[in-house]
Structure 1
Amino acid sequence: MRTRVKICGLTRLQDVAAAVEAGADAVGFVFYEPSPRSVSVDAAARLVRSVAPFVVTTGLFVNPSRQFVEEVLASVPLDLLQFHGDETPEFCNSFPARWMKAIRVREQGEIEQAFERFSSASGLLVDAWVADKYGGTGQSFNWELIPDERPLPLILAGGLASDTVATAVKQVRPWGVDVSGGVEISKGIKSADKMIDFISEVHRVDETD
């Protein structure tokens, strides 16, 4: 199985182009104002329209209002919604778009519970738990908490970079990996070289195993 790669937190046209050129399967745009990687609806529309075919465009939300999600969907041609807060399955299911749910992992059993609770999602993203922060922390968590039984595609996030992602892919065998800070020069500003190195490491593991 080939491990998919999502580059998240893109804010510039040149970074979107570099991510796609490096081989990203998906690109992510943050619609959460407290994040340093947040983009406006108008900016996101320009960024998403620049994405080449066959690359999945993803919008990340944290506890949004229904009105805001609908506003984004009306202006930005997203392929997938990513809910990264405390949203309910009913809320996530109420939009005319595919979605995945992100959870912050602290304890044994939380991932299994999330698989059951969010069974209608397209996938489950697992990230590190940090108080009052919904992702983008650059921290990893105990991968031993990830079960072998996975009813949905599992996407691994949290503290990944080119020097850690090979170990992560070998140990966890996720459907995909999601990176933001690990390929940045500064928050929201990506490095083309880091994105190339990150994706190359993922492909190297896939090819050798």
Structure 2
Amino acid sequence: MNKPVIKYCGVQSLNDLKVVSQSIADYIGFIFAESKRKVDPFYVAKWLKEVNTTKKVVAVFVNPTDEDINSVLEQVPVDVIQFHGNETIDQISRVGHSFEGQIWKALHHHDETIEEMELYQSVIDGYVIDSRIKGQWGGTGVKFDWNAVPTYIEVAKRYNKLCLIAGGVNEENISELLLLQPQGIDLSSGIEIDQKKSNEKIQKIEERVLQNVDISR
């Protein structure tokens, strides 16, 4: 299989950014919503100028206002907007018309996820499938039932969309996920020690990824 798209999310410091910038990740994610990993766009802009990373930047929002989004876009060079809440088709469509980058929609794994993928497919470029944990939108470190992953991949391909698998992916289980040939993998807590991005954990993750793919960096 080819290397899946990799996103390292929840970057919350200059040091985090330096760590992930040395990785094989394609995307780095910053959380601009209420979360233990929430960051201020002012500082993100400063970090990006200092590190000058070539990774694509994902801005993660949960039920944002247009003002929330514009405040980030005015300061941070964003390649992807990821909606991780209960955003409506109309809101996502409106943002998509004015934003030149990609739009991703995070969906929680549950009985109606396929229907939600079909609902949003006309206004987004990619999906992030995450674990459903009451009271939390993401970043839980909890794995969902990966037996559903092949179906999610099939639906995403049907609509010519990218599909990343999130939720509890770490160095101990990523080989299991790679057997399912996901298009993309989204990690946050799985590459952290004490809520800081860890070179050691990233290296272990990437060793397993590169053992299972035909291409490397």
Q: TM-score, normalised to structure 2's length?
A: 0.87
> Which aligned pairs between 1:150-169 and structure 2 lie closer than 5 A?
150=156, 151=159, 152-169=161-178
More deviation, 114-123/76-85: 114-123
Moved over 4 A (4+): none
> Which aligned pairs between 1:44-63 and structure 2 lie closer than 5 A?
44-49=44-49, 50-53=51-54, 55-63=55-63
Deviation, structure 1 residue 125: 0.6
Deviation, structure 1 residue 186: 1.7
Deviation, structure 1 residue 163: 1.2
Partners of 1:205 and 1:116 in 2: CA distance = 30
Amino acid at match of 1:99: I
> Which aligned pairs between 1:1-209 and structure 2 lie closer than 5 A?
1-33=2-34, 35-49=35-49, 50-53=51-54, 55-95=55-95, 96=99, 97-107=101-111, 110-119=112-121, 120-146=123-149, 147=151, 148-150=154-156, 151=159, 152-171=161-180, 173-187=181-195, 189-207=196-214
SS in 2 for 1:160: coil
Partners of 2:44 and 2:131 in 1: CA distance = 26
Label 1:144 to 1:78 Cα distance change in 2 as closer, same or farther (>3 A).
same
Partners of 2:74 and 2:53 in 1: CA distance = 20
Partners of 1:130 and 1:88 in 2: CA distance = 21
Contact 1:16 1:47 in 2 (8 A): yes
1:164-191 Cα offsets, whole Å, 9 max, x none, are 11111212x211100000111122x111
SS in 2 for 1:196: helix
1:131-180 Cα offsets, whole Å, 9 max, x none, are 11000111111122231332221100000001111111212x21110000
Partners of 2:18 and 2:104 in 1: CA distance = 24
Amino acid at match of 1:153: L
Partners of 1:141 and 1:101 in 2: CA distance = 17
Deviation, structure 1 residue 64: 1.0
Amino acid at match of 1:80: V
